[in-house]
Amino acid sequence: AGGLFNTTINGTGWVAVTTHGTPVLLDAAQMPTYADGQSAVCWSTSLHVGVNRTMKAGALIGRGSGEAMQLAFQGQGFVLVQASEGAPVVQAS
């Protein structure tokens, strides 16, 4: 949902998380951490989460990253991101 809707899970036991591609675990305690809302899969509830706007002049001429807004994470905890935002689209020839 692009970070717009979240579910908090707590208690004991296991949780299964699926991703597109091999996920990467980022340590947000080392420095502020940023992720695209479509790539962020889950994160620690102890983190402060905000929005970082990254719109630059280069984006207007097609030289930007394509991500005008990212989720910003700060504090002690982790962020799990997926390497891909979805399955590749294959066109029939």
The pTM is what? Answer: 0.70
pLDDT at 2: 52
The Cα 1–Cα 35 span in angstroms is 14
pLDDT at 79: 94
pLDDT at 72: 92
How many percent of the chain have pLDDT more than 90? 32
- Please give the radius of gyration of the chain, using alpha carbons only, rounded to the nearest integer: 15
pLDDT < 70 positions in the chain: 1-5, 54-67, 85-89, 93
Provide the greatest CA pair distance for the chain: 50
The ranges assigned to domains in the chain are: 33-58+65-82
Note the pLDDT tens digit of each residue in 21-34: 889 999 999 899 99
